[in-house]
A = this chain, B = another copy of it.
Amino acid sequence: MKIRKINLEEREIPENWYNIIADMPNKPLPPLHPGTLEPIGPDALAPLFPEALIKQEVTTDKWVPIPDEVRNMYSIWRPTPLYRAYGLEKALDTPAKIYYKYEGVSPSGSHKPNTAIPQAYYNKQEGIKRITTETGAGQWGSALSFACQHFGIECDVYMVKLSYNDKPYRKMMMNTWGANVYPSPSDRTEAGRKILAEYPDSPGSLGIAISEAVEMAATRDDTKYALGSVLNHVKLHQTIIGLEAIKQLEKAGSDLPDIVIAPFGGGSNFAGLSFPFLRLNMEEGRGIRCIASEPSSCPKLTRGVFRYDFGDTAGMTPLLPMYTLGHDFIPAPIHAGGLRYHGAGVIVSQLLKDQLIEAQAHDNLEIFEAGVLFARSEGIIPAPEANHGIATAIREANLCKETGESKTILFNLCGHGNFDMKAYDDYFSGKIKQHELSQEEIDTSIARLGTPTIPV
């Protein structure tokens, strides 16, 4: 029998997260105060995050210890399995060897609890009573609800209204773990009320929901905020994925991959799998290609600009140096694949700027074709977000077929699609169509920026 899954024991859960900042040839530029345009220090984050996480946000230590209580909670679903995709390889008739790391085995069904658990843990340590957050497709909100429930912290989730209406099961899941869920824009915050006054029918966006959640945390003493992607400490926590994957490939007797692929929303999914492999590139001179897979409806990496921009729509965050489409960019409603955030986290942006990583974009229709092929050849129905990584893997495996090369490809299957069956139904009933984002739309959005450009 060919071995399909490579498992690790609980005791093999890594004891440290990996901090890529320590190894980066060019460190990320500092965040700026939006008024003075002066660099700001970590203190500015104090109203929003507990001290321990702010320290992790700016640390240059290469390895950051994972607390025992976090490792203990990780053991509910970690180590996650690494699969050899024999079924997909056969369906593609490719000489490539394809592996995927499957993060959908977590209770909330994605990689998001990898950071939700430590974030809730550090908040608990510092006596925080409530955490606010935003969620788009619902993956992050579910993960944080699960984590807060365990540590006895109240959890308020601002959920993009479009998803709130389209994905009632996600909301119910968060309720089951005891969270409060509000459709965003809501009338509970200044930011929400302002949007509603101008666009009463606004379907919401991740940027708006962030503004609401940040406002609630910034104005209450016992309340902090949690972000599910973009920030350095979030990426740090996610490196557990790649660290496990390296051990598993070794256990499988496989070579290191030639290509490492992960979906890209704000960057934590991609960072999680790829940073430990980038370490090998930087330390040992390996030539592993790391590719971020983004939707062509929200192509900040492949068509955005590298510039200072706000992390949210209302402009409440510091200015961050990032690849962006402009902080008020909202992907076309026809886009059903998630990953709708306007910008990329600062570490990943710097890595792309320095050409240490690559990016590829995929159309909405292509990613559902990829997802259905995967479901039918491997059995697991992937989340639409995950389908972006699959689409890149298929593209690279097809190139191998053309050239006859037997490359090793590894991608992050970041979650299952159990809560996304409506999107698949839309695909089967022909409602998902190709969508071309015009250069004019991008230019217009970026022209609205009014933030400083970065001297090259």
Contacts and interface: CB of A to CB of B under 8 A. Distances in A.
Interface string A1-38: 11111010111000000000000000000000000000
B1 A71 contact: yes
A105 interface: yes
Contacts of A10: 1, 3-5
B381 A107 contact: yes
A419 interface: yes
Interface string A299-321: 00000000000000000000000
A75 B169 contact: no
A232 B24 CA distance: 62
A45 interface: no
A122 interface: no
A187 to B, nearest CB: 23
A9 to B, nearest CB: 7
B71 A376 contact: no
A372 interface: yes
Interface in A349-384: 372, 375-376, 378-381
Contact of A376 (B75, B178, B419, B422): B178
A418 interface: yes
B2 A72 contact: yes
- Nearest 9 CB-CB pairs, A to B? A172-B421, A107-B379, A418-B418, A169-B421, A172-B425, A4-B75, A76-B379, A176-B424, A107-B380
Nearest to A106: B379
Interface in A115-163: 146, 149-150
A372 B381 CA distance: 26
5 contacts: A4-B72, A7-B7, A7-B9, A172-B424, A175-B425
Nearest to A142: B381
A255 interface: no
A177 interface: yes
A173 interface: yes
A109 interface: yes
Interface string A336-358: 00000000000000000000000
Nearest to A172: B421
A402 interface: no
A9 B173 CA distance: 32
A283 interface: no
Nearest to A7: B7
Interface residues of A, number: 43
Given A168-B421, A168-B422, A172-B421, 5 more contacts: A76-B378, A169-B422, A173-B418, A176-B381, A177-B375
A419 B4 CA distance: 27
A199 interface: no
A68 B1 contact: yes
Contact of A381 (B1, B71, B173): B173
A425 B105 CA distance: 23
A173 B424 CA distance: 8
Interface string A418-440: 11011011001000000000000
Contacts of A419: 169, 418
Nearest to A150: B379
A82 to B, nearest CB: 12
Contacts of A105: 105
A169 B418 contact: yes
A428 B168 CA distance: 14
A413 to B, nearest CB: 12
A166 to B, nearest CB: 12
A77 B4 CA distance: 9
Given A1-B71, A169-B418, A421-B169, A177 B107 contact: no
Contact of A176 (B4, B175, B372): B372
B11 A176 contact: no
Interface string A173-202: 101111000000000000000000000000
Nearest to A147: B379
